[in-house]
Amino acid sequence: MTGSEVSPSFRLAYVPGVTPAKWVRIWNERLPDIPLHLVAVPAAEACDVLLGGDADAGFVRLPLPAERTDLSAIPLYTETTVVVIPKDHVVAAVEEVTSEELADEIVLHPLDDVLAWEELPGRPAFERPATTADAIELVAAGVGVLAVPQSLARLHHRKDLTYRPLTDAPQSRVALSWPEDATTDMVEDFIGIVRGRTVNSSRGRTQPEAKTQAKASKAPAKGGQAKAQPKGKHPGGGGAQRKAAAGKSSRGGSGAAKRGKPRRRS
């Protein structure tokens, strides 16, 4: 599946907090003739976008929903979970915090939360914010605090807020995912980029061509190299030249060949 049958392209979805810039740069260097189009999607909609054919692959957050067995995924990295707080909050005075230390705090739980909580810390808010962005506004207003992956805290950075690592909270893993029945050549190319393969990697599509070129460079040109001469024979000279060479004296001339009979005196 490609972005267009007329002009092939690769469509890459990504959820908030993920920065795909370095992988996009490598793609553009290696495959400049195939445009890569970024598709920003909410975390909760990423699976539907991939399975609906609106993107060829995408950066998603794990775990995937249990029913999404038709998606393949390669885990890439795990994010630190942090608690977002006002800069003048008491928690800002420490380097890290535990869930137990938030027991008296209102901990906001937005509807688009990406952390798999078994038990939420702190006290629940009267109602859940619709989005993480809404929850950030409430934190700034002094309504409560918010636990999110660090990349989301950076994404929604405000000068009046800060964050600290929440050491015992669940963590979010980021993965590259795609429909398992649509593992195209372009998807394989992008998998190679994400995994750090080189251009000439054995898993890359350009490898067979590279091997063919290597063999061609070693093969002699057709008719371009003369056969080796049999031992003891000189090319182009034959036995006649060897006899002539043997008859020459080291003093020059052919006098040595006439020696043997003394001249008779008269």
Write out pLDDT tens, residues 32-84.
Answer: 999 999 999 999 999 999 999 999 999 999 988 878 889 999 999 999 999 99
Q: Is residue 62 assigned to a domain?
A: yes
Residue (of 38, 32, 58, 39) closest to 47 by Cα position: 58
Its domain, for residue 16, covers 10-78+173-206
> Taking the alpha carbons of 160, 147, 109, 134 in that order, is the dihedral positive or negative?
positive
pLDDT for residue 149? 97
Is the domain of 127 the same as that of 193? no
How far is CA 62 from each of CA 29, 73, 156, 160, 229, rounded to the nearest angstrom? Answer: 29, 9, 21, 30, 70
Q: Is residue 5 assigned to a domain?
A: no
Q: pLDDT exceeding 70 applies to what percent of the chain?
A: 73
The pTM of the full predicted model, rounded to 2 decimals, is: 0.71
Is the domain of 71 the same as that of 107? no
Helix pair angle (185-194, 21-30), 10° resolution = 120
Is the domain of 186 the same as that of 143? no
Is the domain of 42 the same as that of 95? no
Is the domain of 72 the same as that of 104? no
Is the domain of 86 the same as that of 159? yes
pLDDT for residue 113? 95
Is the domain of 90 the same as that of 161? yes
pLDDT for residue 8? 86
Q: Which residues of the chain have pLDDT under 50?
A: 1-4, 202, 204, 206-262, 264-266
Is the domain of 123 the same as that of 91? yes
Q: How many CB atoms lie within 10 A of CB 161?
A: 19
- CATH code assigned at 66: 3.40.190.10
pLDDT for residue 207? 43
pLDDT for residue 82? 98
Instruction: Measure the CA–CA gap between 89 and 87, rounded to whole angstroms.
Output: 6
Is the domain of 114 the same as that of 148? yes
Is the domain of 147 the same as that of 34? no
- The total number of structural domains that make up the chain: 2
131-149, pLDDT tens digit by residue?
999 999 999 999 999 999 9
- For tokens 């885990």, the residue is 75
Instruction: Measure the CA–CA gap between 150 and 213, rounded to whole angstroms.
Output: 47
- E runs forming strands in the chain: 10-14, 36-40, 57-62, 71-78, 81-86, 107-108, 145-149, 161-165, 173-179
Q: Is residue 59 assigned to a domain?
A: yes
Is the domain of 111 the same as that of 38? no
Instruction: Measure the CA–CA gap between 43 and 251, rounded to whole angstroms.
Output: 98
Is the domain of 49 the same as that of 177? yes
Instruction: Measure the CA–CA gap between 172 and 18, rounded to whole angstroms.
Output: 11
pLDDT for residue 203? 52
Q: Are 110 and 93 in contact (CB under 8 A)?
A: no
